[in-house]
Structure 1
Amino acid sequence: MNDLVGTRQLTRLALRRDRIVLPIWVVILGVLPASTMGLYDSLYPDAAARASLTRTMGANPSLSLLYGPAFDLSTAAGFVVWRYGSFIALVLAFVCVFTVTRHTRQEEDTGRQELLSSAVTGRFAGLTAGLTTAGLAATVTGLITAVGLSAGGAPAAGSIAFGLGIALAGWFFSAVAAVAAQLATYARTANGLASAVVGAAFLLRAIGDAATDLHWLSWLSPIGWVSQVRPFAGERWWVLLLLFAATIACAGLAYALLPRRDIGMGIIPARPGPAVAAAGLRSSFGLAWRLHRGLLSGWLAGFAVMGALFGSMAAGIGDVVGDSPQAKEMFERLGGASAMVDAFLAAIVSIFGMIAAMYGVQATLRIRAEETAVRLEPLLVTRVRRLELLGSHLVFSLAGSALLLVVGGTAAGLLHGLRVSDVSGQLPAVLGAALAQLPAVWVVVGLSVLIVGLVPRYAMAGWSVASLSLALALYGPVLQLPQIVLDISPFTHIPKLPSAHFTATPLLWLTGIALVALAAGMAGFRRRDIG
């Protein structure tokens, strides 16, 4: 039998399963660069403002750490590539990693791949379908990016180079996820391995771009290669060959490893557990803690690093935006209504809230994953009650997201306070601003619980809720969308602390909405069939 037979049907199945979440990410990432090109001329209208921009932003190590090297900020296209290139490559990498794992290793975890393999399905069909789905998403993202930039007036060569760099970065990390799916025994382990590679690539790029004597490190990072293509700044087409060659090598390794293991097993064998379960596993909460502790620990570490990075940048934000009054006015409008530093702090704690909402959705969907893997039914035939089991997972969705905001707010407030020699004043203010995001985070979590409880087959739509809320809050003001559209996102209603006046009314309303959604979701979960 042909080892690829059935690939077309499995690809169609994968695209159908991802027909909601994947297109949202593709469209958001694809249209983001072109949608902000028009703002460049209004923010930096003359040569003096653009020279100031190049002098301040282009030479700022903190911004190089975050965004990458600024090769040419004198044009709108060059600015957009610098501002969004590494960001889009990073997010697309995670999208591709989760997509490939979902359609390869997770299918083995649930037992569906074994059933499919018993039919007329080739050995490599499932892996090829997963890579095709993720690769198609990356390709369309790159295509939308290139077409959008070119239609906005950017040179065609630079647009194509940027689009190809984004697409090839997605291909490469899809192949990395394919290798991780062969090495690991479980989907969450495969996601962890591949995500660690993505994080390491971003870290290498960040250190290499920020440290003047360590520029060679960025050449070890595929995310760094996207910047080194240098779109709109004398394109280096040969750098794309590095991404392509690395993709072929990783994909080839995945195909070579696949026949060396059994379905449901990994190249790296899982450690056998103890003969007797620990005392902590005798309760629903103990089991939930065992399932969530690795995920929560990784997110906490990420928030600590992110908070420290942004907090250390806050004091110098006045120099970062340059001398353009339009840029200063817009930044203050995005973050708040007071000083620029407070506006920046308000903006970053809003980002903390949006990212914490993504964790909340991921933690909420864990119980659905346990359900589809047929691990809930054996528990529910015992004395364990449904709401007890669901509530144990929701502790991590709700309290875990609060803990992330505490860690991020503390790290940002502490580093900012140390830089301005006012820890006692800045730490409580930034931490309070971060915690003010919590009702909006809980609304997103509550809606995810509502979907899991009432329409579990569409549980992945929880990602759509979080993505839409993030996109509207983060880019809606920049795109000058109508207020009625912006109000769809719960984060729009949060007071822009620490600069704005604190108002409890919207926080109470958001908390009430979250409680109603949680109650309805839990009631639906209690009454519906499992599975």
Structure 2
Amino acid sequence: MTPVASATAAPSAAPPRGHRPYAGTGALVRLALRRDRVMLPVWMLVVGAMVTGGTGALEGLYPTAAERADIAAAMNANSSMRSLVGPVFGDTVGALAAWRFGVFAAVLAASMSLVVVVRHTREEEETGRQEMLSSGMLGRRAPLTAALATALLGNALLGLVVTAALAGQGLAGALALGGAVAGAGAVFAALAAVAAQVTESARLAKGATAGALGAAFVLRAAGDAGEADGSAAATWLSPLGWTENVRAFGTGGERWWVLAVFAAVTALLVAAAYALTSRRDVGMSFLASRPGPANGRIGGAGGLAWRLQRGSLLGWSVGFLAAGVVFGGMVDGAAELVGDNEQARAVFERMGGQARLTEAFLSAMCGLFGLVAGLYVTGSVLRLHGEESSQRAEPMLAAALGRMRWAAGHLVIAFGGSALILLLAAGGLWLGHGKDGGAVLGACLVQLPAVLAVGGLAVLLYGVSPQAASAAWGVAGLVLALGWIGPALDLPQPVLDLSPFAHLPRLPGTPMDWTPVWVLTALAAALTAAGLVRLRRRDLAG
């Protein structure tokens, strides 16, 4: 009787886990949403505030159709401005908002997507959590599916936020722009999924996807610099170019068929990611690292930190130099573009100080470089957290290497690298502008104390607890938002003063004030010292 009972019971048994590749996907999606419950809403809030506030500011800056038509014509006639933000396809407030914020919202969506996907795939494998989960009733494709579902849901909600922000300007155009932003995010989510299968670490996966995002921006910029209607081949090779070619609020109507391009490319990349994940083991990659030499060539903690961060520093350096050249080429045309528009002049003066418009524009650009350098120093400091969370720091610190020496190697690159990229930004501005090299150098370097203060706070947060380290990104993002869109939104000065950059002298064009420079430098030193003291005393496990 026993064999018969077994034979009859066998068909009702659950199939092996390998035959249910998506088992456990729902649980992983819920876990991912719980882990990202702060990050995703903050990202959406930032984009929503940027689009909503920026649209209101544009409406105030160019209240009449004639003024909007003039600024659209001026922007389309300036190849440098087209390379920065793309061409304008209409003279309505909605068209100007899509021109001014569409590409940047797509960049933010792409950045959010690559962080989410890599966090829930390759990072989980690096920490060993994925192997533990996969040992249970979890399908082979469940982790990748959950990561993609989380990213795609985030992009869909982000698209709805953009649509809601612009719905008052016309529902069709708002839907088109929201769909384009979500589509760009979806493409880079799928690209990050492929990178997570090919590379061996989360750092490389993020770097590869971020490099692709940078290449997409360069392609779009190159194409738009050559053609004023978005028809250049280089523009069509970039997902960011597809975003502008949806032509939300365009005079000739929206190009809805471009959204199908986003969907098709996303589907192809997702299929490639699934094909790759089915052909590798957990923790493995298709581009494994090469074995090192028999005799090591890394001399100490500083040499290791340089080896780990040199690629990132090189990328930031090239980006700052190239952006400096582009911005420098726009300086002489700043006054012509603004013309007699007092509101636009006031925005530049709030960003760059009460000086001649050319000097105010230079000051605003140098301030923007400082704000973005705050992102670099935060990421470079938090490389310490990455080494700790991936359990690579503990074996080194178990030997004769002390924590202060280990941390100092990364902090030298973080703070020294910040000074380097600001120097390169100044060099690029001088090359593009062709004059005022000394003034531009001073305007860029005066941003350094505020950058170091942002980095010092990141050191303190990481030193207090690894769980608090991620809050450093929130601080850097808040500082960037206050400096970038705060003046355009005419935020109260006490709110703008929350950023350390708001206290710096607005060079060139205003007298040098050394007091805030020394105060911020001392603050950065104090925050860094406090973070290192706390790091020395706490357990690595937190």
2:287 is matched with: 268
Post-superposition offset of 1:372: 1.1
In 2, Cα distance between the equivalents of 1:443 and 1:136?
A: 35
The answer as to 2:81 corresponding to 1:78 is no
2:85 is matched with: 67
> Which residue, out of 56, 61, 64, partners 1:38?
56
The answer as to 2:489 corresponding to 1:470 is no
SS of aligned partner of 1:58: helix
Matches within 5 A, 1:177-188: 177-188=192-203
The answer as to 2:63 corresponding to 1:53 is no
> Which residue, out of 220, 228, 233, partners 1:216?
233
> Which residue, out of 396, 412, 417, partners 1:400?
417
1:3 is matched with: 21
Q: Report which stretch shifted further, 134-143 or 176-185.
A: 134-143
1:15 is matched with: 33
In 2, Cα distance between the equivalents of 1:182 and 1:432?
A: 45
**Greater Rg by CA:** 2
SS of aligned partner of 2:267: helix
Structure 1: tracts of 5 or more residues without a match: none
The answer as to 2:539 corresponding to 1:529 is yes
Amino acid in structure 2 at the alignment position of 1:127 = L
Matches within 5 A, 1:154-303: 154-212=169-227, 215-233=232-250, 234-278=253-297, 281-303=298-320
Amino acid in structure 2 at the alignment position of 1:448 = A
Post-superposition offset of 1:55: 2.3
Structure 1: 4+ residue segments shifted above 4 A: none
Post-superposition offset of 1:276: 1.9
Post-superposition offset of 1:429: 0.7
Question: Using a 3 Å threshold, how does the CA distance of structure 1 residues 282 and 326 change in structure 2: closer, same or farther?
Answer: closer
> Which residue, out of 484, 488, 491, partners 2:498?
488
Is the 1:57–1:322 Cα contact (8 Å) retained in structure 2?
no
The answer as to 2:110 corresponding to 1:100 is no
Q: CA RMSD in A?
A: 1.5
Is the 1:49–1:322 Cα contact (8 Å) retained in structure 2?
no
Is the 1:335–1:343 Cα contact (8 Å) retained in structure 2?
yes
In 2, Cα distance between the equivalents of 1:143 and 1:318?
A: 36
In 1, Cα distance between the equivalents of 2:101 and 2:246?
A: 14
In 1, Cα distance between the equivalents of 2:397 and 2:403?
A: 7
The answer as to 2:363 corresponding to 1:346 is yes
In 1, Cα distance between the equivalents of 2:467 and 2:52?
A: 35
SS of aligned partner of 1:122: coil
> Which residue, out of 101, 117, 128, partners 1:111?
128
In 2, Cα distance between the equivalents of 1:66 and 1:122?
A: 44
SS of aligned partner of 1:495: coil
Question: Using a 3 Å threshold, how does the CA distance of structure 1 residues 187 and 157 change in structure 2: closer, same or farther?
Answer: same
Amino acid in structure 2 at the alignment position of 1:407 = L
Is the 1:5–1:121 Cα contact (8 Å) retained in structure 2?
yes
2:8 is matched with: none
Amino acid in structure 1 at the alignment position of 2:413 = F
Q: Report which stretch shifted further, 48-57 or 223-232.
A: 48-57
Matches within 5 A, 1:326-345: 326-345=343-362
In 1, Cα distance between the equivalents of 2:377 and 2:151?
A: 24
Post-superposition offset of 1:446: 0.8
TM-score normalised by the chain length of structure 1: 0.95
Q: Deviations over 1:233-292 (max 9, x none)?
A: 1111111001011111111110111011111111223222222211xx231111111111
In 2, Cα distance between the equivalents of 1:11 and 1:241?
A: 26
Structure 2: tracts of 5 or more residues without a match: 1-16
TM-score normalised by the chain length of structure 2: 0.93
In 1, Cα distance between the equivalents of 2:464 and 2:387?
A: 17
Identity %: 46
In 1, Cα distance between the equivalents of 2:346 and 2:495?
A: 22
2:144 is matched with: 127
Q: Deviations over 1:170-199 (max 9, x none)?
A: 011000000111111121221222122212
1:507 is matched with: 517
Post-superposition offset of 1:14: 2.2
In 1, Cα distance between the equivalents of 2:342 and 2:238?
A: 36
Post-superposition offset of 1:22: 3.1
Amino acid in structure 2 at the alignment position of 1:520 = A
Is the 1:49–1:323 Cα contact (8 Å) retained in structure 2?
no
In 2, Cα distance between the equivalents of 1:41 and 1:123?
A: 51
Is the 2:457–2:472 Cα contact (8 Å) retained in structure 1?
yes
Amino acid in structure 1 at the alignment position of 2:267 = I
Post-superposition offset of 1:347: 0.8
Amino acid in structure 2 at the alignment position of 1:212 = E
The answer as to 2:159 corresponding to 1:146 is no
Matches within 5 A, 1:317-396: 317-396=334-413
Post-superposition offset of 1:502: 1.3
Post-superposition offset of 1:132: 1.9
Is the 1:141–1:167 Cα contact (8 Å) retained in structure 2?
yes
In 2, Cα distance between the equivalents of 1:11 and 1:490?
A: 38
SS of aligned partner of 2:485: helix
Q: Report which stretch shifted further, 242-251 or 468-477.
A: 468-477
Aligned residues, how many? 519
In 1, Cα distance between the equivalents of 2:453 and 2:34?
A: 28
In 2, Cα distance between the equivalents of 1:31 and 1:141?
A: 12
